[in-house]
Amino acid sequence: MTTYEQAQANVVPADDEWFDLEVDDGIEPMEVVTSAGYNARGWEYLGPTFTGKETYQVKLVRLGYVRNLAEARKRAGEMGYRLVEGQARESFKARFPKPDGKGPIVFGGSEWRHPRGSPRVACLDALRDKWYSDFDWSGDGFFDRWRWLVVGQ
């Protein structure tokens, strides 16, 4: 592989462009919490339960404004997609270490309850030239700038 090809391999694919991503659903859900820098104490995994390691054909899509995670899942389903679980966040970040400046990414196929009681969804956002792992409130509105990692149903 040439240097150019290596550089291209680490570029976040354009919206609606399929690519392979290995997802390890055997990761303990609380590792998703700690990988974002949070103490897992008091967090609760709401599911769903997935197991195993698999390479998915995924893509980033924009769902437009959605009021909450439930609406995002419904809209994705109507488009023939399933939202990819939060266990994929760190493998996406490792594969594509530099943000592309096109908006944050939501991994809405799974959900956690924050110690203060609100349900949360795993996401990536940009901080200068690096991604940072975080969680966003599932009941919050997600505007057009949000992208969702999806797999076909």
- Report whether pLDDT(7) > 80: no
Q: Do residues 56 and 21 make contact, with C-beta atoms less than 8 angstroms apart?
A: yes
d(CA 41, CA 33): 10
Query: How much of the chain, in percent, has pLDDT values that exceed 70?
Result: 94
pTM higher than 0.85, yes or no?
yes
Please, which pLDDT band fits residue 8 given cuts at 50, 70 and 90? Answer: low
Tens digits of residue pLDDT in 59-83:
999 999 999 999 999 999 999 999 9
**Contacting residues for 125 by C-beta, under 8 A, at least 6 apart:** 99, 104, 105, 131, 132, 134
Residue 99: what pLDDT? 96
Q: Do residues 58 and 105 make contact, with C-beta atoms less than 8 angstroms apart?
A: no
- Report whether pLDDT(5) > 70: no
Query: Mean of the pLDDT values across residues 110-130?
Result: 95
- Report whether pLDDT(113) > 80: yes
Residue 153: what pLDDT? 79
* Strand-pair partners of 135: 122
- Report whether pLDDT(3) > 70: no
Query: Mean of the pLDDT values across residues 77-101?
Result: 96
More confident residue, 50 or 24: 24
d(CA 88, CA 68): 20
- Report whether pLDDT(110) > 70: yes
